[in-house]
Structure 1
Amino acid sequence: YAWGWAWAGNTPMRLWKRYTWLGGVRTPLVVHWPAGIDGSQAGAVRDQFCHAVDLAPTVLDLVGLDVPTHVDGVEQLPMDGASLAPTFDDPDAPDPRRTQYFEMLGSRAIYHDGWKATTDHVGAQLDVEVELLEGSRDFAADHWALFDLTRDFAEAHDVAAEHPDVVDELVERWWAEAGANDVLPLDDSFIGRAIALEPSPWPVGWRHTYGPGGGPVAEDVLPPMGGGFRIVADLTVAASGAPDGVLAALGDWSNGWALHLTDGRPVFCVNLFGEPVVATADPADALAPGPHRIEVAYHRQRAGGGPVVLLVDGAPVADARLGCDLPFRWQIGGAGLRIAHDSGFPVHDAYAPPAELRGADLAGVTIEATALAPPDVRERLRVELGFE
């Protein structure tokens, strides 16, 4: 959405994600633990500094577990955070930590003892930001603004000119933290940072089967569906008939897909940017008691989009057509794939999460990418190693 909404949502802080101004890093934290926090503290506010890295040490502290130094014989990196537990019942407890550095695509900041220094750097990311946002495009020319967060909640008053010694100290601390935490060398471009990312284990897989239960499966490890796919659900309908609920669902009504049953009828929906495309079986094709295979096949056309066919036991029962290609990613940090239930927002309004599957036993759901043939591992190794 437009910048105006991002800035309005972050008000009174400045800017948004990808920047280390408070608009990009300050987030509300609500702690709820009736069994462990004195009831007199309900609704109380804490001013101690905390960071996301403090959450895991806090949980381990509360359950009485030490941070493991080795897991399966492998030495672990140390945890950087500290427990917030002392602050739960004592509003005057000292800050668990005094210092925290920040760096995001060249935007830099550091917190220390109530002070926060932040650069005005605008990285080589979105062309419109480079064109319109005020600030430096050169690391060497970056201005470090200084804010007293004990008095200035929103980084509204730059006091760097009044406290140059504090600025110098914080900048020196930032470089020390950056050197100790593998931040360097600095790179403010999307492309440069993306190239440096460690890829997922190869290959992700062109065909996987998922069973019911458990948590969501991250989209990153699902077969790539954009070029065409098959979804196959094997289930056995109970003698009572009329099964209902989700077989598989990914995403929500902003972007996603769902295969579900309504009064025994298979339904498949693809929701593209809020526009649902639905294939629904007729009442005559409702599943009778016994074993069944429900399949969805999408065949991408060269011009983009293409037909979607819904089949029951090998026979087509409904179809639809996508007018455009599927998104490269259904969601960024979104809901993930769920089997035999859904959560959060639905993909469309024909069901309401959790929509747990009832009246049928689901053996599993297989998702297969059909645009690309799985690679020949022997051939890949021969090419990579350069010998037979």
Structure 2
Amino acid sequence: MQAPKGAPNVVLILLDDTGFGQYSTFGGGVPSPTMDKLAAEGIRFNRFHTTALCSPTRAALLTGRNHHSVATGVISETATGYDGYTSIIPRSAGTIAEVLRQNGYMTAWIGKNHNTPPWEASIAGPFDRWANGLGFDYFYGFNAGDMNQWNPIVYENRNLVPPSTDPKYHFTEDIADRAISWVRQVNAISPDRPFFLYLAPGANHSPHHVPQEWIDRFKGKFDMGWDRYRQETLARQKQLGVVPANARLTTRSAGLPAWDSLNADQKRIYARMMEVFAAFGAHTDHHMGRVVDAIKALPGLDNTIFIYIVGDNGASAEGGIEGSVNENLFFNGFPEKYQDNLKVIDELGGPKHFNHFPSAWAHAMCTPFQWTKQVSSYFGGTRNPMIISWPGHITDRGGLRSQFTHVIDIVPTLYEITGVTPPQSLNGVAQQPIEGVSFAYTFGDAKANSRRTTQYFELGAHRGLYHNGWMASALSFPPWQPIRTGFDPDKQKWELYNIDEDFTQSTDLAAKNPLKLRELQDLWWAEAAKYHVLPLDWRASERLNAELMGRPELGGKRSKLTYYPGQLAVPNDAAPRVLNKSWSVTADVNVPANDAEGMIVTHGGITGGYGLYLRAGKPVFSYNYLAQERYVIEAQQPLPAGKVQLKVDFNYQGAKGEFGKAATIVLSANGSKIAEGRLPQTVPIQFSLGEGMDIGQDVGSAIDFTYKLPFRFTGEIEKVAFELK
């Protein structure tokens, strides 16, 4: 089918975990020349909203429906069986990519895919909810919430991409190269067909990985601390006009320390973490600029609309109060200590750590608003900058748009400007109504009245309701608190803001206007019932445990599972569930006579996990306890050449239902014990968000630092068999 005459090319860039006050284009302290250029030739939106979390925003962005309407009320790794929370986007909510593809567009998704259910992300499929099954002709990226930028698990369409051999490899640079290559190739082959490019870097999500030369540029730039940063940022925002002149700086969110209360060591490590984060952000904008410039340089692409959404939610506070060198500690419910992190201050941003800055810096990145990512009831979590450039069509160069808009409004806007009518039936399935409202009317009229009059918000029992200039907001738990108990939504405190007059949600009017608050509370319940928001669920870390939550288990109820060489990057939900129980793994291998080494089986990486491998011919079982300790149990003698049956018995010391308890390890060869040891604690919730299990090599990051990736086994592996006890 041919695209409508005059239909533009569409380039949609979506950053991850980015606050309103982060980049310089909106007054922040991180340079953003690519955003500056697009804003100078297009328009900026300062009242655009997301859902406060990754998967929900991305599903809403692609479908034009509210996140609970398309079953993504949470990230896919915390899905439950309730209608609004399964993480399975229904066929009745077809993506914009599928519709455009059927209307003559060439489509590509490059970068982060966080919308494939984890239990469907293995080589066993099904693949209809991978990017290619969601309307994209081409996919290059990762299927997870976050990814190691130095050693990512990357897929091209459905095929695992071999690890790069370039010692300077970085994922953001890689996806920029891929995006440029794809546009050049398809435009050269079919210049009369428009394209839809969805480019979604893993940045600025942790880990904050970035080349050292970028970090060096920011040395000393954040020594003023987060409190002064907020004041300076608001002043710049007013000067730029991206906030009203009467906008008030909100108070520091409850539980966050004042910068002046910190000691010298805390200030040093926290400032460094921010330098690394700023470098990561600037590096990302630079590479997005390479893509924009390359597209603009191609002949015949004058009719291209660029939509740059600066964050799928606010900046992330998941680094905790003291910051983190392993974000997975947060997801397992453990805080970190700055004294420990200070020891590796010069390694931050490099391949040894999964680093994340402190929660108070995240709050500062969301200036001038309250709160951060995860908090859907306040604009710190949901208000993200957006820039749209469409040369020849948007003529108000450098203009500002302040209509209240939401991520679900992108799809109907694109349908309007491309001339494509959203189908009532797609691939034989009747379609849910588009719940977004086109804001194409704002392109030519900065003063037009907003056509979005109502929008609910909910995430983890954070609740909010916007209606005709008013906002009702209710907080559940601070986002840096991973274990959440004793919550009663009926006792939740609600606040009320007149955001037509109070841009930043700085003055609570609940006591002065209880009737208006009651009106919005009642409307929230009506919207919640309409869009499948109920029941409310405020749990956090425990929902990451797939077995505890009862999410689909590919192995069924089998206690014995067998794998073979070449099975790589098997996702968590397709790998043996070995947490908080006893288990064994038996590997039948053929050991070479010389230089016997390499990985036999591993699960996880630098954030946590285990590995069974040979080093100098000696069997080794390595257990990474959330990068806090790496326990190594090693045989004293090399294995003999020839066939060997190598076995690890992992004997969990906790009772059923007890998490993270100790374990004893027995390593044996051909039935004889060759080594043993004890783990004083074990990983309770998850090894990693993005790295799975490998047989015969390690395709992600390393379990420990004693071997060099990909650490292929030099012998032969017949099979690797697990028994779960």
TM-score range, shorter chain: 0.5 to 0.7
Give the TM-score taking structure 1 as reference length: 0.60
Deviation at 1:322, TM superposition (A): 2.1
Distance 1:272 1:138, change over 3 A: closer
Deviation at 1:349, TM superposition (A): 1.3
Partners of 2:433 and 2:703 lie apart in 1 by 38
Asked if 1:183 corresponds to 2:533, the answer is yes
Structure 2 counterpart SS, 1:350: coil
Within 5 Å, give how 1:219-368 maps onto structure 2.
219=573, 222-237=576-591, 241-273=594-626, 274-282=628-636, 284-286=637-639, 288=641, 290-301=642-653, 305-324=662-681, 326-331=682-687, 333=689, 335-352=691-708, 354-368=709-723
Match of 1:20 in 2: 376
Match of 2:567 in 1: 213
Distance 1:199 1:148, change over 3 A: same
For structure 2, which runs of at least 5 residues remain unmatched after alignment? Answer: 1-318, 324-357, 392-397, 656-660
Point out which structure has higher relative CO (alpha carbons under 8 A, 6+ apart). Answer: 2
Match of 1:377 in 2: none
Within 5 Å, give how 1:65-84 maps onto structure 2.
78=432
Partners of 1:116 and 1:369 lie apart in 2 by 51
Deviation per CA, 1:135-164: give whole Å up to 9, x if none: x966477424337499957x5455779999
Match of 1:145 in 2: 496
Deviation at 1:176, TM superposition (A): 3.7
Distance 1:17 1:365, change over 3 A: farther
Distance 1:302 1:117, change over 3 A: closer
Asked if 1:199 corresponds to 2:550, the answer is yes
Structure 2 counterpart SS, 1:320: strand
On the 8 A contact 1:10/1:23 being kept in 2, the answer is no
Partners of 1:83 and 1:342 lie apart in 2 by 47
Letter in 2 for 1:210: Y
Structure 1 counterpart SS, 2:705: coil
Letter in 2 for 1:348: D
Deviation per CA, 1:172-222: give whole Å up to 9, x if none: 65334311222235465789x99xx97235854322223333433215862
Give the TM-score taking structure 2 as reference length: 0.36
Structure 1 counterpart SS, 2:622: strand
Percent of aligned pairs with the same residue? Answer: 22
Letter in 2 for 1:339: I
Structure 1 counterpart SS, 2:359: helix
Structure 2 counterpart SS, 1:285: coil
On the 8 A contact 2:697/2:713 being kept in 1, the answer is no
On the 8 A contact 1:242/1:286 being kept in 2, the answer is no
Partners of 1:295 and 1:244 lie apart in 2 by 16
Match of 1:103 in 2: 458
What is the CA RMSD across the aligned residues, in angstroms?
A: 5.6
Distance 1:302 1:103, change over 3 A: closer
Letter in 2 for 1:180: K
Partners of 2:469 and 2:633 lie apart in 1 by 57
Distance 1:299 1:101, change over 3 A: same
Partners of 2:664 and 2:423 lie apart in 1 by 52
On the 8 A contact 1:251/1:257 being kept in 2, the answer is yes
Partners of 1:96 and 1:262 lie apart in 2 by 65
Deviation at 1:286, TM superposition (A): 4.4
Partners of 1:171 and 1:163 lie apart in 2 by 13
Letter in 2 for 1:11: H
Match of 2:724 in 1: 369
Partners of 2:482 and 2:489 lie apart in 1 by 15
Comparing both structures, which one devotes a greater share of its residues to helix?
2
Distance 1:70 1:207, change over 3 A: farther
Letter in 1 for 2:528: A
